[in-house]
Homo-oligomer: A and B are copies of this chain.
Amino acid sequence: MARWEPHARQRLADAALELFAERGYEETTVLDIARRAGLAKSTFFRHFQDKRGVLFAEDAPAGPLVAAIAAAPAQAGPLDAVEYGLDALGRDVFTADRRPFTLRRRAVIEAHPDLREREALKEAGLTAAMGRAIAGRGVPGLAARVTAELGGLALKAAYERWSDPAGTEDFGDIARQTLDEIRSAVAEVRG
């Protein structure tokens, strides 16, 4: 085994998603993943805690999202600040080169109830983080929570659209359009 392991993390992640698709998530072991990547099992554990970590530890969208919401111009309204946040995700996290990985990741998650639960918790965590960032801009209690729920929905819906195999648009463009549609929908449902 070479001691120099270029792109080990990405090779392990790609190997894992290949195997999850080929033989199923449950049936794939960490040893299988390391072998497919041509790396040692110990190398896997330097990069991930376990095989679920391949799907959930990779990106940390909360950081750039919260930072961009906080840094949005003072005159930006609550949902406008969310738009700055989603735009930052398109630049820093959901970049074009990450799209193939994301596509395969979603397919694995959709197929497993326990992974869908984990994904739902991650989404709830992102919504909560958005709520705190919006409240930090001086938006009062319930309005900050409304903004976070709508922002969380925008993020989820934009992520689904962006990871559609037929799509080609930037995440930022998709997110902006999704937020506009949510603004219109909100006017309809108020009743």
Q: Which residues of A contact B (CB under 8 A)?
A: 76-80, 117, 120-121, 123-124, 139, 142-143, 145-147, 149-150, 152-153, 157, 178, 181-183, 185-191
Contact = CB atoms under 8 A, between A and B. Distances in A.
Dominant SS at the A interface?
A: helix
Contact of A143 (B121, B123, B142, B188): B188
11 contacts: A79-B190, A117-B121, A120-B121, A120-B124, A139-B189, A142-B181, A145-B157, A146-B189, A147-B189, A150-B150, A150-B189
A143 B189 contact: yes
A78 B120 contact: no
B149 A150 contact: yes
